[in-house]
Amino acid sequence: MIAKKMMPLLENNSAIRAMFEEGKRLAKEYGQENVYDFSLGNPNVPAPEAVNQAILDVIGEEDSVFVHGYMSNAGFEDVRETIAQSLNRRFGTKFNQNNILMTVGAASGMNVILKTILDPGDEVIVFAPYFMEYGSYVRNYDGVLVTVAPDTSSFQPDLKGLERAVTPKTKAVIINTPNNPTGVIYSENTLREIGRILSEKEKELGISIVLISDEPYRELAYDGAQVPYVTPFYHNTAVCYSYSKSLSLPGERIGYLVIPDEMEESSRVMAAAVIANRVLGCVNAPSLIQRVIKRCVDEKVNIEAYDRNRKLLCDSLVSMGFQCVRPEGAFYLFLKCPEADDKHFSEVCKEHRILVVPGTSFACPGYVRISYCVSYEQIQRSLPAFEKVAARYGLSGKEA
Ligand code: PLP
């Protein structure tokens, strides 16, 4: 009955489910407060009050037939124009509504752009470590994922690796900054170099390569760090944005795709993307929350809670003798395992009721991902357990 293409997904899903079930079992046995679940990237900071108010205002003030009705498959024109103008104010871009397609979150934006550009056998380059769903999204359209090995000294993309990975079959390169799972923000220099390399390769090989910038964590940057906007660095850039993390609305499924005028055949690509959005079954992004976005376009969640968590977790783990590249954004910390086998290390963590995700799941063995979108108290309670793990590996602490 089930398609062969689905079988690997089904098997992998059982592994994730097993982890979820294990978390529930531990909570039952030891009590929820004695299990330190750092496995999920589900925001724990509430949506801004302005978002809740806007939901009520839309219902109270706007015509309900209009609010709940079908619309252009690209989304409401006024919402798209509001987003375009907000981007222009913040990043000096020159977008208008025709550059914006409302999507069902970044996951959907990624699928829309990949469906729009990929033919079977086309290669899509990703930099390890990367969000594990990319592989599934690319395979949805019979693309081939090509992985560039990580530069574990900084977790910036390996640019020499990129140059080597491009072939005549390359159709896209995916970047994600701030990054899941490392929390690293790609520097302006890195983005400039990626743009230069791709432009040169396009000329040399006579091909078109789309740089897909997956940006659900754009607004989650700490210590005043800037997240450079990508479109000025390369003409064929598509941006997949999401409000899942910036407004803590992951269940509402709302985001947008940007196709700049600078992209080759920009308006035809946009027209194809709108059709992709329709035939993938999304038809249009959810209407009520689009109306809300219009009213809350410059809102963002209070990131201070994440920042407090980041500092406590990072400083504590480093003081215990663990190593990590200090995260600058998102809400993940990518910890170097004190042994080569990250799966075994996560089992050891589990023995101390700490749940983390092995780096192998992000194509980067030897590390684990710790999601710190949890309560501050959970991090405080987990520290003695992390200390026991450190002691098992004979790590020696140093002052943070
Ligand atoms: N891309 C990355 C890197 C993510 O971490 C996630 C979700 O965690 C997504 C895309 C999907 O986000 P959305 O909820 O907007 O579909």
How close is the Cα of 240 to the center of ligand 1, in Å? Answer: 10
pLDDT value at residue 230: 98
Q: What is the rounded distance in angstroms from the CA atom of residue 305 to the CA atom of residue 324?
A: 20
pLDDT value at residue 398: 59
Mean pLDDT by 10 residues, the chain (400 residues): 93 77 88 92 95 98 95 98 98 98 98 98 98 96 98 97 98 98 97 98 98 98 97 98 98 98 98 98 98 97 97 98 96 98 97 95 97 97 97 78
Neighbours of 267 (CB within 10 A): 12
pLDDT value at residue 400: 43
Residue 340 burial (CB < 10 Å; 0-12/13-18/19+)?
exposed
How close is the Cα of 192 to the center of ligand 1, in Å? Answer: 24
Q: What is the rounded distance in angstroms from the CA atom of residue 251 to the CA atom of residue 289?
A: 11
Find out whether 285 and 102 touch, Cβ atoms under 8 Å. Answer: yes
Q: What is the rounded distance in angstroms from the CA atom of residue 225 to the CA atom of residue 288?
A: 33
pLDDT value at residue 223: 97
Structure tokens of 167?
Answer: 């072939």
Probe target for ligand 1 pocket from 126, 213, 214, with the most ligand atoms within 8 Å of CB: 214
**Which candidate, 133, 165, 130, places its Cα nearest to that of 148?**
165
pLDDT value at residue 312: 98
Pocket (CB within 6 angstroms of ligand 1): 41, 105-107, 131, 176, 180, 214, 216, 242, 244, 250, 255
